[in-house]
Amino acid sequence: MIPVLRVKDPVSAGLLLKTQFGFESSVNVWRLGEQAIRIVAEEEVPDHFISMPFDHLAIAASEIDRRAEHFKSNGAILSKDYTPDGPHEISEFWEQGVRYVFFNGPDNAPIEFCEIKGRPHLTQFGHSHIGVRRPSISEAMNEISQFDTKLLASYRLDGGRNPVNVAFVNWENVVLEFFDEPASMSRGTSCWIGFVPS
């Protein structure tokens, strides 16, 4: 599945992805390593579209701190709602934790770069996960019950003001990260609107 990003100006969106992060254009999609993105204009609905609005796209990477500095030198802006001061860690995830950083993508759509600690370094970028914010994990699981999915892991993060429940689910080689953290007041509606088949 290829995530779909709806934006005001697809040409400017593609230029931002290229100049700030190194994406390349390839027949209706933009690619960074193994991760593809379909960009559409506000009024466009692509063929075979599966509607599932989501919060953010996470791209697998290694050497997150070095990559973050490189993207910033290309003009990329750290997300003020997620990682305004640079890369963070969640020690509870997977075997040894994750290191991650968020940037503003086109129309401020959140793009995360994520490294699973203790796993081999990637030679190129790949798919990490799709972050899906929902009021409850059980509601999210009901939403995808029509699809052939497999639960990979679940966590409860107690470090913030309110606990956050997280479930990682595999769906046709896409990893969905469902989480029930309330949205930040400073964020608008996400431009990530769903998927098209690969």
- Spatial separation of the C-alpha atoms in residues 131 and 137, rounded to whole Å: 12
What is the pLDDT, as a whole number, of residue 79? 94
At 17 the three-state DSSP class reads helix
- Whole-prediction pTM value? 0.89
Tell me which H or E stretch contains 58. Answer: strand 56-60
Query: What is the signed CA dihedral for 104, 67, 198, 4, rounded to 10 degrees?
Result: 0
Number of domains in the chain: 1
Question: 126-133 and 174-179 as β-strands: parallel, antiparallel, unpaired?
Answer: parallel
**What would the pLDDT profile of 91-143 be if each residue is shown by its tens digit?**
889 888 899 999 999 999 999 999 988 887 777 899 999 998 888 888 888 87
Burial class (CB within 10 angstroms; exposed 0-12, middle 13-18, buried 19+) of 109? buried
CATH of the domain at 181: 3.10.180.10
Mean pLDDT value across residues 11-21: 96
Mean pLDDT value across residues 144-169: 85
- Spatial separation of the C-alpha atoms in residues 180 and 132, rounded to whole Å: 9
Cβ-contact 69, 154 below 8 angstroms: no
**What would the pLDDT profile of 49-84 be if each residue is shown by its tens digit?**
999 889 999 999 999 999 999 999 999 999 998 999
What is the pLDDT, as a whole number, of residue 101? 97
Tokens of 57: 């796209």
pLDDT band, very low/low/confident/very high, at 185 (cuts 50, 70, 90)? very low
Residues spanned by the domain of 117: 2-196
